[in-house]
Amino acid sequence: MPCRVLKIKSTSDHKEISPSPHHEDMSRPVSFSLSLSLCGMLLAPSALAQTQIGGVTLTPIKPAATAPATSNQDDYNRESIPKGYREVRGRVIGPSEGLRLPAGSQIMVRLVDLTAAKSLVDIKFSTTRLSTPYQMVYNPVRLNAAHKYAVRATIADKNGKVLYSSTDTALPDGVRVTLNVPVTVR
């Protein structure tokens, strides 16, 4: 099959592809397809290229990723925590949904040994509103089967004044458990 020769004219603003006058015997559908393909190949790299203006390099933004498919399985796998460890996760829930907290507020979620009156795990983080998620991972080797354990949450302002606190919520048994911890005004 004979090949059609194309001439490419380029200006600063655009590129033009036209057939060579010496090869007018080709069929139109082939020339159009070839022209379209060649045009795409010529223009694609310039559309993806970086542009430099005054020493600043501009890079095109990648299109947003599509949302992951939903599934009935957990949103994380068993390997996300160390072997032999346990996880408690849930939400610290305020007296009303969407409750705004003062700037600089800190939440402290603790795994406490009620029998020995000591804290085994402390996690502290900032937040601006309730409810807010938490996750706690611990090694069950540290637990004594004869003791009672609970999860406790407190919320303090930036100066350390306690604004909200929870009652002791019994630690559920299991490798991965969900436990929401409600707090009330102190």
Peptide bond into 27 cis (omega under 30): no
The pTM assigned to this predicted structure is: 0.58
Closest CA to 34 of 67, 64, 60, 1: 1
Q: Which element (helix H / strand E) includes 162?
A: strand 162-165
Q: What is the pLDDT of residues 125-160, one digit of tens each?
A: 999 999 999 999 999 999 999 999 999 999 999 999
CATH 2.60.40.2990 fits 83-185, yes or no: yes
Q: What is the pLDDT of residues 15-35, one digit of tens each?
A: 555 555 555 555 455 566 666
Return the structure tokens found at 17.
Answer: 């592809």
